[in-house]
């Protein structure tokens, strides 16, 4: 009813409406301008620390702290040369390789174990399924503190400290509930007729999972892989606990050692190493930003 009255209110002569349209168009353009100016200003503020880090890595150490300017006056790669030398006889590339092994291992473990477990939750009826599902959701909220001490004790006793096993075993046992949840949600949205048809054709769960589910789950697997990689790449606590030998260090731990060992005034090399440690993450972001942002939007994953 109210729409009718409002339509009546807007009844104007042809001439007036042309004027009106022109002015609304101008107003809309004005508002777009204001929107873009605000947003760009905000982007500049938000990205400033990251750009400052990148630009500082090309500056001499004496010109970093307190230098608001982004453009290096005498740019050089000296900082990177120094960062690539590594620490205490261990080359940067050793740390880099360790990080790659951990990240790729995480991706492989998570995609395999979480997709298999998610299939059970999403597609098979078995007693206790709802209880297990509730427990799985519960582990999403569980502070990790309550498991790390006994885990450390056991891994220590098994002689697995200073190996990658403690850092990777959870990934192969679907202990990262976020990914299981993400894949369950994704599978639940796939049409059930697909597997019912396959069942009638005599296919078992293994075949349905491998030939029907896995190919259809590609978007969920890609999103999971990207996050698994980045989370492993940035992980600090796990490697801090389990990796004591410098030649096993992942990049974040090496970076910390680097900061501890270089004199505080050598900000240039620190910035260069900080940049190098983030390069793969930034590359992933630039290539897969749509997957990442969509993944967050639909599944509520944290960065």
Question: How many chain residues are in contact with another protein, going by CB under 8 A?
Answer: 102
Cβ neighbours, 10 Å, residue 104 = 14
Distance CA 163, CA 101 (A): 12
Tell whether residue 10 is a contact of another protein (CB under 8 A).
no
Distances (CA, A) of 74 to 59, 61, 63, 266: 7, 11, 10, 17
Tell whether residue 116 is a contact of another protein (CB under 8 A).
yes
Binding mask 16-55 for another protein (x = CB under 8 A): ----------------x--xx-xx--xx--xx-xx-xx--
Which residues in the 204-243 window bind another protein by CB under 8 A?
A: 204-205, 209, 212, 230, 234, 236-237, 241
Residue 104 or 116 having the CB closest to another protein: 116
Could you say which of 14, 149, 202, 263 contacts another protein (CB under 8 A)? 149
Residue 14 or 46 having the CB closest to another protein: 46
Distance CA 26, CA 49 (A): 36
Could you say which of 20, 37, 135, 158 contacts another protein (CB under 8 A)? 135
Cβ neighbours, 10 Å, residue 222 = 15
Distance CA 82, CA 92 (A): 10
Tell whether residue 68 is a contact of another protein (CB under 8 A).
yes
Residue 93 or 132 having the CB closest to another protein: 132
Note whether 296 and 222 are within 8 A (CB).
no
3-class DSSP string for 158-180: CCCCCCCHHHHHHHHCCCCHHHH
How far apart are CB 103 and another protein at their closest, in Å?
13
161 backbone dihedrals φ, ψ, rounded to 5° = -70, 145
Nearest to 205 by CA among 197, 215, 214, 195: 195
Residue 16 or 196 having the CB closest to another protein: 196
Nearest to 137 by CA among 182, 186, 168: 182
Residue 17 or 39 having the CB closest to another protein: 39
Could you say which of 87, 164, 243, 252 contacts another protein (CB under 8 A)? 252
Any residues with CB less than 8 A from the CB of 76 and at least 6 apart, and which? 58, 60
Residue 15 or 130 having the CB closest to another protein: 130
Binding mask 156-175 for another protein (x = CB under 8 A): x------------xx-xxxx
Which residues in the 70-109 window bind another protein by CB under 8 A?
A: none
Residue 15 or 186 having the CB closest to another protein: 186
């Amino acid at each position: 009813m109210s729409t009718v009255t409002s339509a009546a209110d807007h009844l104007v002569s042809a001439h007036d409406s042309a004027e009106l349209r022109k002015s609304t168009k101008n107003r809309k353009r004005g508002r777009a301008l204001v929107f873009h100016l605000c947003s760009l200003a905000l982007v500049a503020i938000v990205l400033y620390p990251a750009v400052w880090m990148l630009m500082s890595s090309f500056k001499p150490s004496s010109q970093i702290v307190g230098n608001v300017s982004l453009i290096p006056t005498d740019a050089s790669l000296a900082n990177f040369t120094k960062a690539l030398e590594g620490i205490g006889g261990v080359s940067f590339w050793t740390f880099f390789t360790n990080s790659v092994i951990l990240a790729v291992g995480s991706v492989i473990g998570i995609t395999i174990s979480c997709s298999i477990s998610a299939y059970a939750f999403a597609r098979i009826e078995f007693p206790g399924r709802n209880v297990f599902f509730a427990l799985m959701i519960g582990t999403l909220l569980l502070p990790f503190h309550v498991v790390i001490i006994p885990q450390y004790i056991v891994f220590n006793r098994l002689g697995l400290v200073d190996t990658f096993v403690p850092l990777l075993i959870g990934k192969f046992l679907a202990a990262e509930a976020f990914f299981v949840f993400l894949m369950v949600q994704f599978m639940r949205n796939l049409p059930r007729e697909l597997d019912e048809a396959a069942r009638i054709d005599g296919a078992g769960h293994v075949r349905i999972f491998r030939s029907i589910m896995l190919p259809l789950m590609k978007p969920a697997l890609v999103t999971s892989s990207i996050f698994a990689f980045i989370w492993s790449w940035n992980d600090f606590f796990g490697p801090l606990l389990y990796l004591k030998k410098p030649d096993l260090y992942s990049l974040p731990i090496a970076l910390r050692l680097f900061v501890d060992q270089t004199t505080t005034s050598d900000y240039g090399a620190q910035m260069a190493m900080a940049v190098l440690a983030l390069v793969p993450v930034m590359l992933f972001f630039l290539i897969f930003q749509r997957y990442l942002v969509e993944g967050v939007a639909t599944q509520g994953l944290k960065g």
